[in-house]
Amino acid sequence: MTGNGTHRDRRAAGAATGAGAERGTAPSPPRVVPRSRPHDRDALTRLRERSVLRAYKAATWTLGHAPQRASWEVGGILAQSAYLAWPARRRATRSSFAHVLGRSPDDPRVDRLARRMYRNYAQYIVELMRLPTRPRGELVRELDMMDAANVETARDLGRGVIMVGAHIGFMEGGAAAIADRGWIVSAIADDSEFIELFEHLSRQRAAWGIRLLPLRNLREMYATLRRGELIGLLVDWGYRPDGIPVRIFGDWTTLPAGPATLAARTGAVIVPISVTREVDGEFSYRGRTSPYIEVSSVEPAELARATQLVADAIEEAIRRHPDQWWVFKAMWPESAQEEERLLARLPEYGLSAERSATER
């Protein structure tokens, strides 16, 4: 554990790099990206969306005013109940953690890790829902983002930065801490459902210096990167047979081609990032980044090389805190046929079953 003097040094360094909360002058909120609503939404759809929005607002208010530890305890009980009551998600979580531990999905150690993750996930949800009721600088002061130097180095190139991570820890907090330095951060979010909730979240995140970009708004993504700004992407959305083959924990799976392709087409660079809960003196969270990754072309072998480097960073983050990986979908092929089809695609990327893209 780090001594208090070191923590003071870290905080002073954070202020020197321009943390608005420490200076007392918060950066101006970014503009909310307009989103056009479809005209074919029927009355039932609109009613459902408004009900979800009202429920979200009520939960946010309740958790913002309830004692934090009591909320964690109640949330933990509900999460454990969900683990038992939702067999499909339980199987997917165990399937993924089996690869992490190198065990069978039925191994008791896999089950214990899955239960521990669900309990931690409840704590994460409570803290996420409390965000709108907390002063902007409060979370930033709890988060040690001194490893953001890799982001700063990449940003200084002036070519745009794609911060890539997985659903690990508290990524929203990391984005808020980076935005608090006065940098414009845009997070890619799915707006295909619950449009009114998306718009509400966009306004909330803007108050934290974060812009939400609709998932399908490629024009705005390209424009954002060409302005030299920062975009955040999460890539662990479950196994996709059309993704780029990578090795994680020694087993072949895929990750989306999006980050590497965006980088190659815009000249931006990729910085892997993770933020995990690590109570350490004054700080509750620790942000880590890796050196930036350049992508020189959209050739399959080059995309595979860059994506494998992202996969390596994600594996390291999961290995450090597996019980903070919010995984509810199978991240590896679930059948021998799926695995065979994946292995058959390796030569397209200059890969072989024995060798990953970074081992050539």
Report the C-alpha dihedral over residues 243, 237, 212, 134, rounded to 10 degrees. -150
- What is the per-residue pLDDT for 34? 56
Evaluate if residue 90 carries a pLDDT over 80. Answer: yes
Q: How many residues does the chain have?
A: 360
Please provide the average confidence, as pLDDT, over all residues in the chain: 84
> What number is the average pLDDT over the span 190-197?
76
Evaluate if residue 278 carries a pLDDT over 70. Answer: yes
Is residue 12 packed enough to be buried (19+ CB in 10 Å), middle (13-18) or exposed (0-12)? exposed
- What is the per-residue pLDDT for 279? 72
- Cα(10)–Cα(276) distance, rounded to whole angstroms? 17
Residues in contact with 12: Cβ distance below 8 Å, sequence separation at least 6, in sequence order: none
Evaluate if residue 218 carries a pLDDT over 50. Answer: yes
Closest CA to 187 of 227, 226, 214, 148: 214
pLDDT level of residue 109 (50, 70, 90 thresholds): very high
Local structure of residue 228 (DSSP, 8 states): T
Phi, psi (deg, nearest 5) at residue 173: -65, -40
Local structure of residue 349 (DSSP, 8 states): G
Give the pairing type, strands 251-255 and 244-248. antiparallel
Evaluate if residue 13 carries a pLDDT over 50. Answer: no
> What number is the average pLDDT over the span 232-239?
95
For residues 265 and 27, the model is more confident at: 265
Specify the range with the lowest mean pLDDT, choosing from 1-5, 31-35, 186-190, 306-310: 1-5
- What is the per-residue pLDDT for 338? 97
Closest CA to 284 of 144, 149, 94: 144
User: Is the full-model pTM beyond 0.95?
Assistant: no
pLDDT level of residue 18 (50, 70, 90 thresholds): very low
- What is the per-residue pLDDT for 29? 57
Report the C-alpha dihedral over residues 293, 299, 305, 307, rounded to 10 degrees. 70
Highest mean pLDDT: which of 21-35, 106-120, 176-190? 106-120
- Cα(53)–Cα(40) distance, rounded to whole angstroms? 20
- What is the per-residue pLDDT for 33? 59
Alpha helices in the chain (DSSP H): 4-16, 20-23, 43-65, 68-85, 87-101, 108-130, 136-142, 149-155, 171-179, 195-207, 218-226, 258-266, 300-320, 336-345
Task: Give the domains, in start order, of the chain with CATH numbers.
Answer: 136-349 (3.40.1130)
**How far lies 114's CA from each of 81, 97, 335, 349, in Å?**
13, 7, 21, 33
Residues in contact with 237: Cβ distance below 8 Å, sequence separation at least 6, in sequence order: 256, 329
pLDDT level of residue 5 (50, 70, 90 thresholds): very low
Q: What is the CA radius of gyration of the chain?
A: 21
> What number is the average pLDDT over the span 210-222?
89
Structure tokens at 195: 């449009």
Residues in contact with 284: Cβ distance below 8 Å, sequence separation at least 6, in sequence order: 142, 143, 277, 278
For residues 45 and 314, the model is more confident at: 314
pLDDT level of residue 282 (50, 70, 90 thresholds): low
CB atoms within 10 A of CB 132: 18
For residues 297 and 147, the model is more confident at: 297
Local structure of residue 155 (DSSP, 8 states): H
